[in-house]
Amino acid sequence: MKSSKNKVSRDNKTAPDPHKLTDLILLLNPNSQGGNTGKNWADTYNKVKDFLPKAHKIIFTKKANDGIFITRKLLRKGYKNIVAVGGDGTINEIANGFYDLESDSKQTKDYRNFKPLPRLKPINPRATIYVIPSGSRNVLAKSLDLQHQGTESLMRIRHMKRRKIDVIAATITDRDNPSLTHNRIVLNAAEIGIGAEIIDRSKKVRGKIKSRFVSTMASVIATLPAYNSNECDIVIDKHKKISSKMTMGIVANGRFLGGGFKAAPRAKFSDGLLDIIILINSGSFKMIDKLIELKGTSTYKYEEDILYYQASEVIFLSKERNVTVSVDGEPIGILPAIFKIYHNALTIKTEAASPRI
């Protein structure tokens, strides 16, 4: 990894100067926004370099989960200010890097013994993640009410506001080895069932069809007509149990999902609550109507087949086939899964949010 005159570097071995508290590490996914982040980076950097603090470095990720591992190394070396430049998946990876998360292979499908993370272990409690949306959808940015992305967002980095937000800690079963689980931080939302399967199929199709829109529409058309609801048990805050045919489950910290669906209209990033939305027993055509409804402002108070709860913990278990789970737009595993909210557990910096309409 080489340094250059414009301070673009891929070297993360140099220890930070403890007296330079404004040191920034910009961690970029060059493949975000369909590869445009990397392709246009030289032009972007020339536009934004004068807006950045003099003490900064730039590191590019190369493969999946680089954001997690690189961030952990940087925080352990003493860096405190990590700038996440990329789409929702990249920002999620970097946020996961703020915590020491371990997999647990001793989970069970009995919900009474399926345990959440006992606590979050931040690598550096004083560290801050700067959110620079630079993806194709930027759903987290929409939920955070941010107005700018990419270049425009980087130009405002000196004036970003610090805030604390809740994070969701998820323990999700491995698809290939159900005796293993993955612990993962969720910033915006997790999707379970048909939404996650559309995401999973879309990512596979995108290996052949580069257009995100075309791959998504192809996946929707291929998934919706054939999808069957699954008999699931859902346990909320350890005492409320729901047994139903579930078509889709959502565990949200933010209000929006991909496609602009306002799935969780009451969600707030710092209220200490999960927003849980469960679509039950919906056929394919009925499901389309319900997805369209999610673009509205309904609070689902009068919907028989859309259940809406706010809680601190929820467990989902499938009684039938494997049910896919995605986290911030990335397929992670299958049910069973448990989600728990941790109040104001992450410090972020963003531009000032737009007024909420």
Q: Which of 165, 184, 219 is the last residue of a domain?
A: 165
What pLDDT score does 7 carry? Answer: 43
Q: Please check whether residues 338 and 195 belong to one and the same domain.
A: yes
Predicted local distance difference test score (pLDDT) of residue 212: 57
Please tell me whether residues 48 and 66 are part of one structural domain: yes
Q: What is the mean pLDDT of residues 129-157?
A: 94
In a domain, 119, yes or no: yes
Domain count, the chain: 2
C-beta neighbour count of 16 within 10 angstroms: 17
Q: Which amino acid is at 59?
A: I
The mean-pLDDT minimum among 199-208, 215-224, 267-276 falls in 215-224
Residue 68 is predicted with a pLDDT of 97
Q: Last residue of a domain, which of 110, 134, 165?
A: 165
Residue 298: pLDDT band with limits 50, 70, 90: low
Tens of pLDDT, residues 230-255: 899 999 999 999 999 998 899 999 99
Where does the pLDDT of residue 13 fall: very low under 50, low under 70, confident under 90, or very high at 90 and above?
very low
My answer on whether 192 and 154 are in the same domain is no
CATH label of the domain that carries residue 338:
2.60.200.40
Q: Is residue 225 part of a domain?
A: yes
In a shared domain, residues 184 and 323: yes
Domain extent, residue 242, equals 169-343
pLDDT at 354: 58
Task: Report the pLDDT value the prediction gives residue 71, as an integer from 0 to 100.
Answer: 98
Mean pLDDT, the chain, integer: 83
Helix (H, G, I), strand (E, B) or coil at 53: coil
Element (H, E) at 44: helix 41-48
Highest mean pLDDT among 105-119, 158-172, 255-269: 158-172
Domain final position from 108, 135, 165: 165
pLDDT tens sequence across 321-355: 799 999 999 999 999 999 999 999 999 999 976 55
Residues 115 and 223 both lie in one domain: no
Distance of CA 136 to the CA centre of its chain: 14
Q: Are 187 and 167 in contact (CB under 8 A)?
A: yes
CA distances from 222 to 77, 173, 185, 216 (A): 47, 25, 30, 10
What's the confidence (pLDDT) of residue 195?
74
Q: What is the 3-state secondary structure (H, E, C) of 225-261?
A: CCCCCEEEEEEECCCEEEEEEEEEEEEECCCECHHHC
Is there a contact between 51 and 154 (Cβ–Cβ < 8 Å)? Answer: yes
Beta bridge partners of 163: 348
Q: What is the mean pLDDT of residues 44-61?
A: 95
